[in-house]
Amino acid sequence: MRDIYLDNNATTALDERVLEAMLPALRHVGNASSAHYAGQTASRWVESARQQISALLGASPREIVFTSGSTEANNLALKGLVHGADRRRRVVSVTTEHPATLETLSVLAADGADVALVPVDRCGVVDLQRLGNAIDDQTLLVTVMAANNETGVLAPLPQIAEIAHARGAVLHADATQLLAWGGVDVDALGVDLLSLSSHKMHGPQGVGALFLRRECAQRLAPVQHGGGHERGIRSGTLNMAGIVGLGAAAEIAASEGPAAARRVQALRDQLHYELEESVAPVILNGHPVNRLPGTLNLSFPGADADAVMAGAPTVAVATGSACSTGHPGPSHVLTAMGIDEVHAACSLRFGLSRFTLSEEIASAASLIAASVARVRLRQTEVA
């Protein structure tokens, strides 16, 4: 039986056109920082990719800093601003953030930063009033995911930006999950810093970027030293071939993402409907409307999620963030939403991409439904 990949929130398949764009760079000998002809060729490719990424974001190429991915971009944004601050030390975030943010904030808190985490409601949406109450005149930074990696819930970034800027704070957004579905306008969103990763938008793994407004760049202390690359903001030899791939992926996402989003949302809703029809009760985790087109997080009461996955081994789904796989226990995102541990342990995340086919959805629904039914039967017999 053909394998069905529905874990695109963890990583996406490399687009063949991205691979084709990368091949000359993979074969090229030349460091983009070198002054000779080979280095200058590499540098031109890097700067072309910088323009492609800035076009995806509605930003200036000078505001793009290359990193190894969103985790490094998040670390650079948060640690860089806090370490570069001369007075303000408060950072405000949300309880459902990715571990790349939450663990970085824990390190900063141990270092003396004043970190506040604002709760979300049952749909995973942050309470704007409570967020506003947490942001005071000593707040340096607010950091919020543009789209949650487990539930797909979209953050109201323009409203958050208005609240943060009114207190003199800057806004960072982790947009890792968002950009496969098309470009954004950083000015309209109101963000001052934005993290992105190539492998969540059909580019190669191991490369990403940080959008950094020019005024923020002056306030950010580097967290990595040696070589002065990326205007001294992020030292280290550039992953030139990866950057070329990221640029190609960004250009494709900008042109094809919106249409793909409409098609994939219909497939996501089809999957939800077929599972509800087959193995009710099924509970949606997250907002019913304001979420990513390809993300579906469902609880199947009475069916342990790990057992369901084991019973449908040809369907690649997940119980939570891939970055939390080594940490046993229920999803921190779901428990932060007020979902009890029993139901959280019965939850699966389905992640569709622009390469997902309708026949795959039909097969996945059938296989998962059959596994849920078997697991429920076994658990009933044991009880």
Please report, for residues 45, 236, 269, 347, the alpha-carbon distance to residue 232 in angstroms, rounded to integers and kept in the order given.
20, 10, 46, 44
**Cis status of the peptide bond prior to 281, with omega within 30 of 0:** yes
Alpha helices for 85-213 (secondary structure H):
99-110, 128-134, 157-166, 186-189
**Measuring CA to CA, how many Å separate 186 from each of 153, 157, 171, 191?**
19, 10, 11, 6
Residue 216 is a catalytic residue: no
- Dist. CA 21–CA 85, nearest whole Å: 40
Residue 15 carries which DSSP code?
P
Find how far residue 152's CA is from the centre of its chain.
9
Phi, psi of 173 (to 5 degrees): -125, 135
Residue 168 in tokens: 């003199």
Angle in degrees, CA 343, 275, 269, rounded to 5: 105
Q: Which residue, among 209, 206, 143, 204, has the nearest Cα to 176 in the 3D structure?
A: 209
Q: Following DSSP, what letter does each residue of 167-195 receive, concatenated?
A: TT-EEEEE-TTTGGG----HHHHT-SEEE
- The interaxial angle of helices 358-382 and 240-279, nearest 10 deg, is 60
Question: From the candidates 123, 216, 323, 346, which is the catalytic residue?
Answer: 323
Separation of first and last alpha carbons in the chain: 33
Cβ atoms of 275 and 224 within 8 Å: the answer is no
Catalytic residue numbers?
A: 323
